[in-house]
A and B are shown apart, each in its own frame.
Chain A
Amino acid sequence: MSAVTAVATTHDEPHATGHAAGGISNPILGMILFICSEVMFFAGLFAAYFNVRATAPVWPPAASLTSVPVVTAEMAKRFDLHAEPWFALVLTILLVLSSFTCQLGVWAIRRGDRRGLVRAIGLTLVLGIAFLLGQAYDYSQLGFGLSDTQFGSTFFTLTGFHGAHVFAGAIMLSVVLYRAMSGQFSEKHHDAVEATSLYWHFVDVVWVCLFSILYIIPSK
């Protein structure tokens, strides 16, 4: 809530932002409403995960005892993400750090510091791309796929959609970086930076929730 208020208070100049006093500029308001719809999108995915988890007798799925096992012992071992959360923890740290650097960029342009904005957004973009590459590497090392039981399906759906959102955020950051390098932002005109920052923070919060659910909440 404070972020919304903070954004609103930075745009109280009617002629600078093209709206009456006290309002939020259209790009930022649009982004906030878009993020609200995204919250419901991820709520649906989380709810589906919780539902599948609740109806399963054992979670993550254990090795089958049938002659032709659905889940092999090796796969059941791979499903146990709690055993090795360290790589995902590194990815989490990268993404949380990128949120800080993104906010540093916002604060820099609010002061009129264009070089600071370019540095901060550039660093954010590098951290975001590092996260994506790390996730791709993690996928290659997991040892199970999308079609390997409900666990594989829900895991890849949740993390895959999140990865797609990070990718979209990286594209937005690239555009902001290009515009910042072209000198298109100033102390009063930087709605795109604020809107992109809000989106990046949202993507970060979703990942922290995902990490907590997939890697920290104990098995049942």
Chain B
Amino acid sequence: MHFKRRRTALAIGLMFVVLAAIYFTVSHDAGGTTTIAFLGIAGGVAAYALVVGTPDDV
């Protein structure tokens, strides 16, 4: 069950990183791209850590 949750957590982070790549292609705005990409990285890692950190009996 946790395996699926971990994949979902990583997918959420990856989605924002892909979004950042698309945004940069369209706008060439490095500032906005940085914010979106780091949101993906931070969000993905936080979600992954929370899933991994959740005890098996929950």
Residues of B within 8 A of A42 (CB): 38
* Complex Cα gap A95–B54 (Å): 33
Q: Are A54 and B31 in contact (CB under 8 A)?
A: yes
Could you tell me the dominant secondary structure of chain A's interface residues?
helix
Is A1's CB within 8 Å of the partner chain B? yes
Known: A1-B48, A4-B45, A32-B49. A48 touches B55 (CB 8 A): no
Contact with B along A25-37 (1 / 0, CB 8 A): 0000100110111
Given A21-B56, A39-B38: A4 and B31 interface contact (C-beta under 8 Å) = no
**Size range of the chain B interface in the assembly:** 20 to 34
Do the beta carbons of B56 and A46 come within 8 Å of each other? no
Task: Tell whether, in the assembled complex, residue B46 and residue A33 are in contact, meaning their CB atoms are under 8 Å apart.
Answer: yes
* Closest A residue, CB atoms, query B37: A43
Checking B29, B37, B43, B54 against A23 with a beta-carbon cut-off of 8 angstroms, the contacting residue is B54
Which chain B residue shows the least CB distance to A48?
B31
Interface residues of A in 30-70 (CB under 8 A from B): 32-33, 35-37, 39-40, 42-44, 46-51, 53-54
How many of chain A's residues have a CB under 8 angstroms from any CB in B? 29
The 0/1 profile, CB within 8 Å of A marked 1, for residues 1-39 of chain B is 010000000100000000000000000011110110111
Looking across the interface, which residue of chain B has its beta carbon closest to that of A37? B42
- Residues of chain A lying within 8 A (CB to CB) of residue B53: 8, 23-24, 29, 32
Chain B residues packing against A (C-beta within 8 Å): 2, 10, 29-32, 34-35, 37-39, 41-43, 45-46, 48-50, 52-58
